[in-house]
Structure 1
Amino acid sequence: MRLVIAEKPSVAQSLAAVIGANARKDGYLEGNGWRVSWCVGHLAGLADADSYDPKYAKWRYDDLPILPSDWKMSVGQDKKKQFDILKKLLCAPDVTEVVNACDAGREGELIFRNVYELTGCKKPMKRLWISSMEDSAIREGFENLRPGADYDGLHQAALCRAKADWLVGINATRLFSVLYRRTLNIGRVMSPTLALIVQREAEIEAFQPEPFYTVALELPGFTAVGARMKDKTAAKELQTACRGGSAVVKQAQRKEKSEKPPALYDLTTLQRDANRLLGFTAQQTLDYLQNLYEKKLCTYPRTDSRYLTSDMAEGLPVLVNLTANAMPFRKGIAIVCNPEAVINDKKVTDHHAVIPTRNLRDADLSALPVGEKAVLELVAARLLCAVAEPHLYEETAATLVCAGQEFAAKGKTIQRPGWRRLDAAYHAGLKNAPEPEERPEEKTLPELSQGQSLPVSNASVKEGKTSPPKHFTEDTLLSAMENAGKEDMPDTAERKGLGTPATRAGILEKLASTGFLERKKSKKTVQLMPSRDARSLITVLPEQLQSPLLTAEWEYRLGEIERGELSPEEFLSGIYAMLRELAATYQVVKGTEYLFSPPREAVGRCPRCGGEVTESQKGFFCQSETCRFAIWKDSKWWSAKKKQPTKAIVAALLKDGRARLTGCYSEKTGKTYDADVLLEDTGEYVNFKLDFGQRKGGPS
């Protein structure tokens, strides 16, 4: 028997169907010489601090820093059943080989290896590495299983990342929470990200708008505009001097220009566009894309590449045509496929760009949830644009002189719309789309020649003001995270910036759930604003913990570990040294007694990690740095019943797993009813269901 371990039950079922393991067992599938089971996310992880010494259960300054020498692993109580099933399967005498089929990336490698090592398994290990859940890709992947040892570097990098997060989260969170007498979550990536937001708000608040003036000349068939002027009187004088006069053409140029199609999507650029065009958060986009991947409609989500490999070139025209046929916005537009525009082996590392799969052909896209359908159409539109013809146009630029000052005018004539026709057709079908980007006006300037004199029919002065920096949106913050510290990193660095494509969405959600980040809607965009406590935290946090450069450098070092160029011990020793110095030398900033909001009251204990769950404006959230447990107040489940989780309800759910709800609204009947709500936490998602039991109080 060969044992396959996937990351999720749904993925395991897809793999099992292809390799013929169709018999259902308790916690796994079996058949055709295979057993297929799953992990359900992180089954095993780094143990809590108190597993090293019971005294660490309490947060005390004198115990810092906590720096384990021999790291321990643990299994959450809610995940013990599946872990025990995997342990039994891994240790079964008839299992001769184990296949790691968890997601093909850093985290997937860690999820599998933690279980493999904690069970003490020593059996030969192979790696399934695929970028698509299509049957053909799965089949090819199993025909080309790679030695597990090929990914030892990836595992070491993933483990070092987890240890770095644990070390900074445990030590810095305890240090600042104890010193400032309230829970202050500090994170290796979270804190520098928060610093970016706080710094942007400081720049906006410090900004002083300055007025400026421009003089515009009305000429035969077009308008020419002068340079910005700070002096209104000088602008008025220029206006007077130009009126009734003439402008002489100093220079006129016509240039044929070509605008290349955009590159395909990696996860971050997809999340940015989905936020800007569809209003989705980064986490929503990742969740929708993950579901599309598991439904075999899109390729692997957590990629940082925007290109495809050369072996995909031959099949690309077929994929492009069936994608075009599945998309309503391309009706009436001829489809072109230039594979060379998207093929670049050197720019593909673990996974190629996100694209649709051939399963689009037979899929009922109308049956997809709205969010998944919108993300799929966005991915499809980008594929069609990326392989389309360039956008060709002629640009005319003229410089004219009037009253001794220069004026400029531009014109644009489209010669071949190319990819922009598809892009415009996609945008036209969007609801509540943002205003289109400003582009040169698509109008032609008249024929102009050097030295030509043109009469000025009118001259006007227009007043404007300099604009402050814009508040971050998830689109612009993801870009800032991706580029943070980039200019100071080596050109050879594969991973730059704060976090990775796979982790950035989770960081933003953690900042929101801990009350540091607030989402505020303004017109058609949602702005990200720091809370009072966020500003206070960045005020007292030392530079090394809020510097994007430090964390960006750590990401680069993790890449070196992955390639075998740096030892894990050397990487961790630098973090140990930093934390020793921090605990020994940090002094409380004076005058900060009233800097932070009062501590939040604990509503109960987190079912995942045992940390404190507290209430904030948006919901109830675990205060532990690495935990993402959340009960949102505005979730669809509660809204549909016209109810909202209260402190008393959440306290009961956390203590007993159930709470009584009265006056629930029935969307089906329009009446109300009473029932018990049950909390079901999968370790990744928080779910609720109703239990009517034997009590009275059905629909009334």
Structure 2
Amino acid sequence: MELVIAEKLSVAQSIAKVLGATSREGGCLVGNGYIVSWCFGHLVELASADAYDPRYAKWVLNDLPIIPKNWQYVVSANKGKQLKILSGLMSDKRVDGLVCATDAGREGELIFRLVVQHCGCRKPVERLWISSMEDSAIKAEFQQLKDDAEYARLYDAALCRARADWIVGINATRLFSVLYHTTLNVGRVQSPTFAMLVQREAEIAAFRKMPFYTVELDCGNFTASGERIADKKNSEENRMACDGTTVTVKSVIRQEKSAQPPKLYDLTTLQRDANRILGYTAQQTLDYTQSLYEKKLVTYPRTDSKYLTDDMRDAVPELVKTVCIAFPFKENLPVHAERIIDSGKVSDHHAIILTRTLAGAGLSGLPIGETSILNLIAARLLCAVSDPCVTAETTVTLDCNGHAFTAKGKTVTALGWRETERLFLAALKRKPEDKPETTLPELSEGQTFENVGAAVKEGFTSPPKHFTEDICYKGRFKKLPKYNNAAAHLWWMKAGSRRKEMFRP
């Protein structure tokens, strides 16, 4: 028999159903040559500092740095019972080998291997690697299990990260807490992000708004603007030089521009949009998407790819058709599957998309949060395979007594993917996020406008924006060493209450 170990009970139940392991026994499901059991996340974790030496129970400066030579592990709190069950199953004589069915990523690999090592099991291990919880996907992958040794580097990466977190957290927290006589939690990722946050808030606090002035010309059926001027007196002189005089068109540049459809979602871009459009935190978005994954409605969420693999090309039109029926944003949608297909840009998992299970699923019973995320993923898929949005843009340069002015116009000639986006946002009662159209009359080089009106418009410089999840996912985290989604999670999940306290008046 094969012992299949999943990361959590719900996933184990889905796998067991596909394998025909329907008989419930203590802590596992048995049948058809399989025993399916589960972890509850991490069952084994790194030991605390005092496990290496009792004196480390006290925080003493002279004991630092604490760097274990031989790492020790302990059973996670309240999880000993399940670990004992797994240990018993691994030593069961009926079990010939193991199948690692924890989440397909480095953390899942770490969870599984630490349990196997703790239990002292040396039976052969195969790896189940799935991006979808659909029955068909599970069946297909069980026909092509791989040697788990192929995933050793994933385990090594997770192990290095866990140990690095331990070393930095234990030593730096004790160091600064002892020096400043109060508990100061320091982390490998958390502290640099807090430094970014403090710096931004300091910039906002130190900001002093400065006025600027812009001369605007009223040319009848359009307006032209000059450059920003810091000095009010100079701007008034420019206004007087132009008011009531003649302005001449020096150049007219017309361009047709195409805004390409957005790429499919990886976890980070999904979290950004869910925060910006729906107001969800990163953790809420991950939780909702993980739940949808376990309900077989979307593919694996923890991915850094925005593309699908080449072998999925033929399935895209049918999936788009299914999505159009379930989410009537738009009918008769063009499908440019080639835009979202690129195996070379897929590492462990492809982009987050809906699954074919959607066709027969009852979506009305889903919680509101999951429904919103499902709609977001659906809209992104339909946008990604659609036509570009085409605009006609005109830039006009004018001269008035030696002063340069500019007028810009933009009209949409083909909505393309933005039509789907607008329909989606309209369903949420939100306005389109693209800038409104500005039309210009037909203008030509050398054309003049007499007796134009000139006015000075005052404006003020803006302070830096407070950090939000969307802003930070958009780029700020990339300034940190070893940037990844986990960095963003650490900041916003662990720092949540503390960042509010730090800047409370």
Aligned equivalent of 1:452, options 444, 447, 454: 447
- Offset at 1:517? 1.2
Alignment map for 1:295-694 (pairs within 5 Å): 295-328=295-328, 330-331=329-330, 333-431=331-429, 433=430, 437=433, 439=435, 441-485=436-480, 497-498=482-483, 500-502=484-486, 504-512=488-496, 515-518=497-500, 530-531=502-503
- Offset at 1:446? 1.6
1:47 aligns to 2:47 (yes or no): yes
Q: Which residue of 2 aligns with 1:13?
A: 13
**What's the TM-score, normalizing by structure 2?**
0.97
- Counterpart code for 1:38: W
SS of the aligned residue for 1:315 comes to helix
- The CA distance in 2 between the partners of 1:93 and 1:427, in whole Å, is 58
- The CA distance in 1 between the partners of 2:78 and 2:120, in whole Å, is 21
- Counterpart code for 2:383: C
Q: Which residue of 2 aligns with 1:208?
A: 208
User: Cα deviations across residues 123-150 of structure 1 (Å, max 9, x unaligned)?
Assistant: 1011111111111111111111111000
SS of the aligned residue for 1:313 comes to helix
Q: Which residue of 2 aligns with 1:583?
A: none
Q: Which residue of 1 aligns with 2:244?
A: 244
- Counterpart code for 1:517: R
- Offset at 1:16? 0.6
Q: Which residue of 2 aligns with 1:628?
A: none
1:187–1:473 CA distance, 2 compared to 1 (3 A): same
- The CA distance in 2 between the partners of 1:69 and 1:401, in whole Å, is 75
- Counterpart code for 1:447: E
1:142 aligns to 2:126 (yes or no): no
Q: Do 1:21 and 1:36's aligned partners in 2 also have CA atoms closer than 8 Å?
A: yes
**Further displaced range: 197-206 or 416-425:** 197-206
- The CA distance in 2 between the partners of 1:116 and 1:445, in whole Å, is 70
Q: Do 2:397 and 2:404's aligned partners in 1 also have CA atoms closer than 8 Å?
A: yes
SS of the aligned residue for 1:159 comes to helix
Q: Do 1:211 and 1:465's aligned partners in 2 also have CA atoms closer than 8 Å?
A: yes
- Counterpart code for 1:509: M
- Counterpart code for 2:397: T
SS of the aligned residue for 2:485 comes to coil
- Offset at 1:110? 0.4
Task: Note the residue ranges of structure 2 that are not aligned, 5 or more in a row.
Answer: none
Q: Do 2:190 and 2:490's aligned partners in 1 also have CA atoms closer than 8 Å?
A: no
1:301–1:370 CA distance, 2 compared to 1 (3 A): same
Q: Do 2:194 and 2:491's aligned partners in 1 also have CA atoms closer than 8 Å?
A: no
SS of the aligned residue for 1:314 comes to helix
- The CA distance in 1 between the partners of 2:53 and 2:475, in whole Å, is 40
User: Cα deviations across residues 426-459 of structure 1 (Å, max 9, x unaligned)?
Assistant: 111215x5x65462x4133222111111234422
- Offset at 1:532? 7.3
Q: Which residue of 1 aligns with 2:57?
A: 57
Q: How many aligned residue pairs are there?
A: 505
Q: Which residue of 2 aligns with 1:262?
A: 262
User: Cα deviations across residues 103-138 of structure 1 (Å, max 9, x unaligned)?
Assistant: 001110100011011111111011111111111111
- Offset at 1:244? 1.6
SS of the aligned residue for 1:355 comes to coil
- The CA distance in 2 between the partners of 1:480 and 1:156, in whole Å, is 28
Q: Do 1:267 and 1:301's aligned partners in 2 also have CA atoms closer than 8 Å?
A: yes
1:235 aligns to 2:235 (yes or no): yes
SS of the aligned residue for 2:408 comes to strand
Q: Which residue of 1 aligns with 2:3?
A: 3
- Offset at 1:516? 2.4
Q: Do 1:16 and 1:29's aligned partners in 2 also have CA atoms closer than 8 Å?
A: yes
- The CA distance in 2 between the partners of 1:27 and 1:342, in whole Å, is 42
SS of the aligned residue for 1:371 comes to helix
- Offset at 1:506? 4.0
User: Cα deviations across residues 573-609 of structure 1 (Å, max 9, x unaligned)?
Assistant: xxxxxxxxxxxxxxxxxxxxxxxxxxxxxxxxxxxxx
Q: Do 2:42 and 2:76's aligned partners in 1 also have CA atoms closer than 8 Å?
A: no
**What's the TM-score, normalizing by structure 1?**
0.70
- The CA distance in 2 between the partners of 1:505 and 1:65, in whole Å, is 27
Q: CA RMSD in A?
A: 1.6
Q: Do 2:257 and 2:393's aligned partners in 1 also have CA atoms closer than 8 Å?
A: yes
- The CA distance in 2 between the partners of 1:456 and 1:311, in whole Å, is 66
- The CA distance in 2 between the partners of 1:62 and 1:295, in whole Å, is 52
Q: Do 1:238 and 1:403's aligned partners in 2 also have CA atoms closer than 8 Å?
A: no
Structure number having the greater helix percentage: 2
Q: Do 1:302 and 1:502's aligned partners in 2 also have CA atoms closer than 8 Å?
A: no
Q: Which residue of 2 aligns with 1:32?
A: 32
SS of the aligned residue for 2:291 comes to helix
Q: Which residue of 1 aligns with 2:194?
A: 194
- The CA distance in 1 between the partners of 2:220 and 2:209, in whole Å, is 35
User: Cα deviations across residues 643-685 of structure 1 (Å, max 9, x unaligned)?
Assistant: xxxxxxxxxxxxxxxxxxxxxxxxxxxxxxxxxxxxxxxxxxx
- The CA distance in 2 between the partners of 1:308 and 1:193, in whole Å, is 32
Q: Do 2:100 and 2:126's aligned partners in 1 also have CA atoms closer than 8 Å?
A: yes
- The CA distance in 1 between the partners of 2:415 and 2:493, in whole Å, is 40
- The CA distance in 2 between the partners of 1:420 and 1:88, in whole Å, is 57
SS of the aligned residue for 2:301 comes to coil
Q: Which has the higher contact order (CA 8 A, sep 6+)?
A: 2
SS of the aligned residue for 2:212 comes to strand
- Counterpart code for 2:494: K
- Offset at 1:503? 5.3
Q: Which residue of 2 aligns with 1:290?
A: 290
SS of the aligned residue for 1:150 comes to helix
Q: Do 1:220 and 1:455's aligned partners in 2 also have CA atoms closer than 8 Å?
A: no
- The CA distance in 2 between the partners of 1:15 and 1:507, in whole Å, is 34
SS of the aligned residue for 2:100 comes to strand
- Counterpart code for 1:419: W
- The CA distance in 1 between the partners of 2:439 and 2:473, in whole Å, is 38
Q: Do 2:242 and 2:452's aligned partners in 1 also have CA atoms closer than 8 Å?
A: no
- Counterpart code for 2:382: L
Task: Note the residue ranges of structure 1 that are not aligned, 5 or more in a row.
Answer: 486-495, 519-528, 534-700
Q: Do 1:2 and 1:34's aligned partners in 2 also have CA atoms closer than 8 Å?
A: yes
Q: Which residue of 2 aligns with 1:596?
A: none
1:120 aligns to 2:120 (yes or no): yes
Q: Which residue of 2 aligns with 1:224?
A: 224
Alignment map for 1:264-279 (pairs within 5 Å): 264-279=264-279
Identity among equivalent positions (%) equals 55
Q: Do 2:473 and 2:488's aligned partners in 1 also have CA atoms closer than 8 Å?
A: yes
